Structure 1
Amino acid sequence: MKEVLYIAPGNQNSKGGIGLCVNNYSKHMSNFKVLVTHRFQSKLMNTLWFPFCIVELLWILIKDRDIKILHIHGASKGSFYRKYILYVFARAFSNKKIIYHIHGGGFRDFYLGSSKFIQRRIRYVINSADLVICLSEKWKHFYTSAFKPKHIKILNNMILPPLNTERKPPGDKFRLFFLGLIGDNKGIFDLIKVIAKNREQFEDKLELVIAGNGEVDRLTNTISKWKMQSIVHFKGWANEEKKEELFRSSDAFILPSYKEGLPLSILEAMSYGLPIISSKVGGIPDLIHKGRNGILVVPGNQRAIKNAIVKLMTNKGLCKNYSQNSTRTVVDFYPDRVLKTLFSIYHELQGNKGLLFEQN
């Protein structure tokens, strides 16, 4: 991998989806090279540090003659602004092939809601990149209809197969697991409201376990306000070891988001054989198929969320069927499949010349 430079958020112990994705790449590639664009939790620290990131990019382009491809991973808002600046410098000071890999579920709204000045910059990046990578057929349709990319490819997000998928013995309550950024966009407050409004139906039968970061104080205050401490339990941020424990001890996974790209949390849940409840947004309908491995709901539809929970909670046979199908479906997102596609993209971009890739 000495001929590819990844430009992405911090990939070591990252709490963001892009960082986790790039970290997964790094574990399966030798000579992995990455320019970290966002390494601090503080916005101020990242802003102060970013000029050094620009200098680092220019220095790498000057000294490292092996690099032939710049693989930029970006999303909307601040992520796009940072990557745009680096993209402009890369175009001005090198002749490398540039891939712009778009993550996140908010890019459409980001583009449509931006000023004409910003929209022109977005169009410039997408239309001038040598290749655009997106996460699903739905996103490919959007980018090809709204922009004029030279080339566009779909690449699945990559997760690592769990080392231990043995499920822990079921408890007295149906354990529903949410993992993600705490905020309105992920639908977590809709979910708590659903459980609170139907407390009599869920009391002593359901346990909602939440892990993540974000609006933590708001979450804990909401749980307290609705007196949900006996049903809803917040576990804080989950590292790899803690995540494994939570996945293995859960009966189903839920992510009722309003916007998504192709969430790693759902893929991870599927790798542990969990039935899924999620929203009909982004690339999620490509993962969750009605009657096969989960239930899709319209974002914000609290009745549908409630019905989906009750359906899984009261039907062990259905859960078992969904579990088996989740395990079979997720193999397309494991390293052997994803890296094969990624390496073929690199070869095609370079006209099948000179690029040598080696997995660890």
Structure 2
Amino acid sequence: MKKVGIVGHFGFGHDLLNGQTIKVKILFQEFQKQLGAENTMAVDTHGGAKKVPSMIAGTIKMFRQCENCMVLPAYKGVLFFTPLFSVLNKIYHRRTYYIVVGGWLDSYLDKYKWLEKQLKNYTAICVETTTMKKALEKRGFQNIELMKNCKELQKLSFEELPHSFTEPYALCTFSRVMKGKGIENLIHAIQEVNEKAGSTVYTLDIYGEVWKDYVDEFEAMKKEFPDYIKYKGSVNYDQSVDTLKNYFALAFPTLFYTEGIPGTIIDAYAAGLPVISSKWESYDDVIEDNITGIGYEFGSDDALVEVLEMIKSNPQKMIDMKEACLRKAKEFSPKAIVGGFIQKFF
């Protein structure tokens, strides 16, 4: 039998760069490295409702052939795959795992309370943050394991870190381009700081896949961008360090309070970039305030402007964080995280 099968949004044949797809691919590749390709199986959920029959068939095949069965579902996928896993496991008696993407599961259960009993049947529910672990344990779950998000990145060396920055300070974003990621809030904040100063204090380069429901709105916004704001397109995650390494800092103004461990922050750390971020629910799990980044009140545009003004008056504070960011990057190695998982459960 194969050691492990993974159901997730692989998007085979498509160049998809969203966080869920990246996490699925990274985990699968690492399991292949450590267990051998012949001991792994992938079931792709890309394609939506029209692919449901093939998803079911693939999942059944996985249960027949794999000792350990994993699923990394999105919102609707939890409602579909958790009951399916429960039914199949009554037949095949496998070890089953729900690898959580993001930090929304606890609040999701307020709406879908019926899911709790079935979720408790998994061998383990692997969450990204201690915040999520504690929240689910308060609900009576005893099968919660901490499994940080991870990326296989060629970390910058300490010798390669740039230490000299002058105005304008180059900021970037490196995640999905959508309203919920706070991109508009960041643009307005940078414009406000620059206009108040009467000069270009900050520039902003925007990287990432534009969310399909946001394309028209973003295209209209781009026409109004000042010269110091540019959209640079999408970059493969394995090219992130080379793309980011010469920036002053990464901005993460998310408006999603239930973010887990955002992959973009792992990218930033590997490139030696401190992070300017809103304080979402699990902020303290990922960012050490004033050591690897600076946070501001969640959802407050005024607080974001204040942070940018503060950094403007003391840019050395950010520069001094760069070495700590490289050290922090070591915590998110796929080899260590998957290796620890295999040792515990396989």
- The answer to whether 1:154 aligns with 2:154 is no
Using the alignment, how far apart are the partners of 2:327 and 2:288 within structure 1? 13
Distance 2:59 2:238 in 1: 34
Secondary structure in 2 aligned to 1:86? helix
Q: CA deviation at 1:150?
A: 3.5
Measure the CA separation in 2 of the matches of 1:102 and 1:240. Answer: 20
What residue number does 1:270 align with? 269
Structure 1 counterpart of 2:248, from 248, 251, 254 = 251
- Which ranges in structure 1 are unaligned for 5 or more consecutive residues? 40-44, 348-360
Distance (whole Å) between structure 1 residues aligned to residue 149 and residue 323 of structure 2 = 21
Contact preservation (8 Å) 1:129, 1:149:
no
Aligned length, in residue pairs: 330
SS in 2 for 1:210: strand
**Please, what TM-score do these two structures have when normalized by structure 1?**
0.83
What is the CA-CA distance between 1:89 and the residue it aligns to?
A: 4.1
Q: Would you say 1:304 and 2:303 are equivalent positions?
A: yes
Paired amino acid for 2:262 = P
Structure 1 residue aligned with 2:61: 59
125 and 183 in structure 1: CA distance in 2 versus 1, 3 angstrom threshold: farther
Is this contact kept in 2: 1:208–1:232, CA < 8 A?
yes
Cα offset, 1:48, TM superposition: 0.4
Query: 1:209, 1:234 within 8 Å by CA — same for their partners in 2?
Result: yes
1:190 paired with 2:189, answer no
Q: Distance in 1 between matches of 2:118 and 2:222?
A: 43
Q: Provide the rounded CA distance (Å) in 2 between the counterparts of 1:179 and 1:79.
A: 26
Q: 1:274 Cα shift? A: 0.2
Equivalent residue in structure 1 for 2:136, among 143, 146, 160? 143
- Residue 171 of structure 1 deviates from its aligned partner by 7.4
* Secondary structure of the corresponding residue to residue 150 of structure 2: coil
**Distance (whole Å) between structure 1 residues aligned to residue 310 and residue 182 of structure 2:** 19
Instruction: Check whether the contact 1:11–1:36 (CA below 8 A) recurs between aligned residues.
Output: no
Q: Which residue of 2 aligns with 1:109?
A: 107
* 2:296–2:303 contact (8 Å) kept in structure 1: yes
The equivalences for 1:182-261 within 5 A come to 182-201=177-196, 203-212=199-208, 213-214=210-211, 215-224=214-223, 227-240=224-237, 243-259=240-256, 260-261=259-260
Q: Is the 8 A contact 2:169 2:201 kept in 1?
A: yes
3-state SS in 1 of match to 2:345:
helix
Aligned residues: percent identity?
17
Kindly provide the amino acid, as one letter, of the partner of residue 113 in structure 2. Answer: Q
Instruction: Answer whether contact 1:21 1:157 (CA < 8 A) is retained.
Output: yes
User: Residue 134 of structure 2 aligns to which amino acid in structure 1?
Assistant: H
Q: Comparing 266-275 with 83-92, which one deviates more in the overlay?
A: 83-92
CA contact (8 A) 1:4 1:33 kept: yes
Range moving further from structure 2, 166-175 or 300-309: 166-175
Distance 1:94 1:262, change over 3 A: same
Of 8, 19, 43, which aligns to 1:36? 43
Distance 1:201 1:337, change over 3 A: farther
Change (3 A) 1:125 1:257: farther
Asked if 1 retains the 8 angstrom alpha-carbon contact of 2:45 and 2:55, the reply is: no
Q: Deviations over 1:180-224 (max 9, x none)?
A: 122232111211222233341464221111112212332232343
Q: CA contact under 8 A between 1:37 and 1:50: conserved in structure 2?
A: no
TM-fit CA distance, 1:170: 5.5
- Judge conservation of contact 2:155–2:271 (CA < 8 Å) in 1: no
| Cα displacement (A) at 1:157 | 1.1
1:76-115 map, 5 Å: 77-112=75-110, 114=111
Please tell me the root mean square deviation across aligned C-alpha atoms, in Å. Answer: 2.5
Check 1:295–1:174 CA distance in 2 against 1; reply closer, same or farther (3 A cut): same
Query: In structure 1, what residue type is equivalent to 2:229?
Result: V
Alignment partners' CA distance in 1, 2:302 and 2:254: 15
Contact conserved, 1:130 with 1:150, CA < 8 A, in 2?
A: no
Give the residue type in structure 2 aligned to 1:209: D
Q: 2: CA distance between counterparts of 1:71 and 1:251?
A: 39
Match of 1:174 among 169, 186, 210: 169
Q: Output aligned runs, 1:276-295, within 5 Å.
A: 276-295=275-294
The amino acid of 1:207's aligned partner reads: T
Q: Is the 8 A contact 2:241 2:270 kept in 1?
A: no
Separation in structure 2 between the aligned mates of residue 245 and residue 82 of structure 1, nearest angstrom = 39
Contact 2:241 2:268 in 1 (8 A): no
